[in-house]
Amino acid sequence: MNGERYLIVNADDFGLSPGVNRGIIECHENGIVTSASLMVRWPAAAEAAEYARARPRLGVGLHIDLGEWAYRNEEWTCLYEVVPTGDPAAVAEHVVRQVDAFRRLMGRDPTHLDSHQHVHREEPARSAVLKAAAKIGIPVRHFSSGIHYCGEFYGQDGKGKTCPGAVTTAALLQALAELPIGATEMACHPGYAEDLDTMYRFERADEVAALCDSRVRAAVEAAGIILSTFATVRGKWSATVAIEADPVYR
């Protein structure tokens, strides 16, 4: 990439709720969000897709949703499970089903695949997601050799404890300053929590404020960072490389 830095700012959970949609849209129109991952199972997915279809500058991939877990009473508790996540056949079938649902909503293939709470980093979801991505010819978060993943802009620790300092403008500016040469996906979760019942709630509004801060845009421009989507860096990655070491579940 000739020493240049490309940044995909990808907002997860698009379609989860009207409040999340509103936050992501605000960060795309007034901030630095360039891409989003659509959760096709949720009622607000149709609203999110309608918005995205009319705005081709917003890249949209698929946020595969197989369940959600919360850390409570010193252990991880399942809040919901779409299919038994240890059943390879059920997982593979549901991954294909969600890809098909994405196509119906968006009228095209996703630009990339990732998953809610990174369930695709482990089997059997890993194989199912990589197979689906290879069939389409698109990258997968954590598995693409030409795209570095940055999960530092996240307002909770590994056990769900709130870390407000991690989603401030200062934290975002620091992450931008440390971007490596090449392409980076920076994940984020902007939104508004009034209509949410999920593990990650009130931190979302803090993310909106930071992502839309004019100082952040100015820093991107001053550093010569090229805001991008997965489609604009196509051809510079492989969807089938080995998983990164030391995963960060964010």
Sorting pLDDT into bands at 50, 70 and 90, what band is 242?
very low
Sorting pLDDT into bands at 50, 70 and 90, what band is 2?
confident
- Top CATH class of 5-233 equals alpha beta
What DSSP element (H or E) covers 26? Answer: helix 18-30
Closest CA to 61 of 156, 150, 137: 137
Dihedral, 188, 21, 39, 154 alpha carbons, nearest 10: 20
Closest CA to 12 of 190, 203, 200, 228: 190
- State mean pLDDT over 110-123: 95
Strands (E), 65-124: 67-72, 75-81, 113-115
Is the overall model pTM greater than 0.85, yes or no? yes
Instruction: Quickly tell me which residue has 């056990």 as its tokens.
Output: 159
Domain map of the chain by residue range?
5-233
Predicted confidence (pLDDT) per residue in 161-210, tens digit: 889 899 999 999 999 999 999 999 999 999 998 778 788 888 999 999 99
- State mean pLDDT over 72-89: 87
C-alpha–C-alpha distance, residues 127 and 152, integer Å: 26
C-alpha–C-alpha distance, residues 137 and 131, integer Å: 10
Asked if residues 203 and 36 have their Cβ atoms less than 8 Å apart, the reply is no
C-alpha–C-alpha distance, residues 96 and 85, integer Å: 15
Predicted confidence (pLDDT) per residue in 13-40, tens digit: 999 999 999 999 999 999 999 999 999 9
